[in-house]
Amino acid sequence: MSDVRHVLVLPDRDAAEEVAESLGDRFGVREEPQLVRDALAGEDDAEDAQWLVVVEDPAGRLDATALDEFAAEYEGWRESGH
């Protein structure tokens, strides 16, 4: 089974940090999620950047639907196809 990586897209840094902190309690994620700033294509304004929370899931045990719903609580979503 190949490693699974979930990418959660959040509207701002505060939301991304909250999600990253909550993942351990909510889903038992042991590895520190990676936060990545994702400037929207063609946008120069830093305020328009989205933040990605990258969650490594080597055992493939995280529920994608639950992660989707979790991200939605912070006005975000889970990227599919990763």
Q: How far apart are CA 8 and CA 67, in angstroms?
A: 8
Q: What is the pLDDT of residues 55-76, one digit of tens each?
A: 999 888 999 999 999 999 999 9
Q: How far apart are CA 77 and CA 9, in angstroms?
A: 5
pTM above 0.75, yes or no: yes
3, pLDDT greater than 90: no
